[in-house]
Structure 1
Amino acid sequence: MTKWYRWQDWATVAAGLFTAVAVLWTRQLNLSTTCMLVFGGLLVVSGLINLAMPGMPAMEYVQAILAAGLVLSPWLGTYTGATGAALTSWIAGGVALVVTAAAIKPSTDVRHAYRVSH
């Protein structure tokens, strides 16, 4: 698979970037700023790693865990009362989780094809 090409990873980068930047215009409460910046930033980094090295299924699973963490963060960071921040976390985390799940099989196929050819 070609580097920097897979749309699923670009969508994850966009979701992470949107989450991290959304702290500027959403009302923040308790640990919302920290959770949104950390999970958003880590999703950007993991998405870029997956774009640069598309045959690493383990990194896809790490990315899925980060996306699930973002979905759970309004409860874990006790900011469900900050509607904008919570909705951003739930929606962006859900999008990242779905597109990452869609990227696991192609990533595994690339890894398998590489191992067979070498």
Structure 2
Amino acid sequence: MAQTSVRPWTRPHDWVEVVLGVVLAVSPLWFATNTAALWTMIVLGALIALDGLASLARPGMVYGEGIQIVLGALAFISPWVMGYTELTGAAWTSWIVGALTVIAGAAALPVANAAHRTAGQH
């Protein structure tokens, strides 16, 4: 039963992270942005998606979930730090995707820990 948690490409938390990253990265296509918002959303979105893919490929990689939580927190605070709170669509997208990324990363952490422990027993 624990063996199924170690199989790559099967963890829904990580798929959610990939989707959230893609949404953040492409959302400047739909929302008005300035240069800071555009590049912040593209870079953080790409990093979130890539880290999600890395976690999918290596389910026992626990630190990937910690990175995901940090990236989500950065996405959440980016409208204030990068000065695009007045760009409503971009700001709300960053806040929502950031919060959901933190939640997904935190939810995946125990699963990654279990996969890591199981992989270490083989």
TM over 0.5: yes
Matches within 5 A, 1:32-111: 32-111=37-116
Q: Which residue of 2 aligns with 1:6?
A: 11
Match of 2:28 among 23, 32, 49: 23
| TM-score after normalising by structure 2 | 0.92
- Residue type of the alignment partner of 1:63: Q
Measured on the aligned residues, the alpha-carbon RMSD in Å equals 0.9
CA distance in structure 2 between the partners assigned to 1:113 and 1:49 by the alignment: 18
- Residue type of the alignment partner of 1:16: G
Q: CA deviation at 1:75?
A: 0.7
Q: CA deviation at 1:35?
A: 0.6
| TM-score after normalising by structure 1 | 0.95
Cα shift readout 1:38-76 (whole Å, capped 9, x = no counterpart): 100000100000000000111110111111100011011
CA distance in structure 2 between the partners assigned to 1:21 and 1:30 by the alignment: 14
- Residue type of the alignment partner of 2:68: Q
Runs of 4+ in 1 over 3 A off after TM superposition: none
CA distance in structure 1 between the partners assigned to 2:54 and 2:34 by the alignment: 31
What is the SS of the residue equivalent to 1:31?
A: helix
Quick one: percent identity of the two aligned structures? 37
CA distance in structure 2 between the partners assigned to 1:8 and 1:90 by the alignment: 19
Q: Give unmatched runs, 5+ long, in structure 2.
A: 1-5
CA distance in structure 2 between the partners assigned to 1:82 and 1:44 by the alignment: 23
What is the SS of the residue equivalent to 2:60?
A: coil
CA distance in structure 2 between the partners assigned to 1:12 and 1:53 by the alignment: 14
CA distance in structure 1 between the partners assigned to 2:63 and 2:24 by the alignment: 23
